[in-house]
Amino acid sequence: MFKKSKKPIGIVDGKFYPCPNSPNCVSTQATNEKHKIDPIKYSGSLTEAKDKIIQIVRSLKRSKIITDKENYIHVEFRTALFKFVDDVEFLFDDSEKDIHFRSRARLGYSDMGVNRKRMDIIRDKFNNF
């Protein structure tokens, strides 16, 4: 049986918790190529960008918004077959007009690229909104 573990979630000193060594995480704040992914750029207000992200997240299957604060969102995505949970966090930097994010599987070593693919889909939907 799999043991459910709650990995660190949230922002500390304006940063996400770092990705682990395992390849089941991507982050715009990572410093290594294995985990690094570019932030989503936005124009307009933080509120407009955040509303777009919320609409996109709600349009995706098996998503649940856990935390919705002024410049931060935490979402849980569940896999279709085994209902494993991936945590996705968004941090809006209005001064740079960047949406930073971190997407990580809670269980296992590899995610077969699922987190990176999901974030690429969210980026594409945001850019074509």
Q: How many residues does the chain have?
A: 129
Per CATH, domain 22-127 is 4.10.410.60: no
The answer to whether the Cα torsion of 117, 123, 127, 129 is positive or negative is positive
Please, which pLDDT band fits residue 6 given cuts at 50, 70 and 90?
low
pLDDT value, residue 3: 41
The pLDDT assigned to 1 comes to: 36
Please tell me whether the overall predicted TM-score, pTM, comes out greater than 0.85 for this model.
Answer: yes
With the C-alpha atoms ordered 31, 125, 65, 119, is the resulting torsion angle positive or negative?
negative
Cβ atoms of residues 43 and 129 within 8 Å: no
Picking from 4-8, 12-16, 62-66, which range would have the lowest pLDDT averaged per residue? 4-8
Which residues does 84 contact at the CB level (< 8 Å), separation at least 6? 78, 105, 106, 107, 108
Looking at the predicted structure, is the pLDDT value of residue 5 above 60? no
Largest distance between two CA atoms of the chain: 47
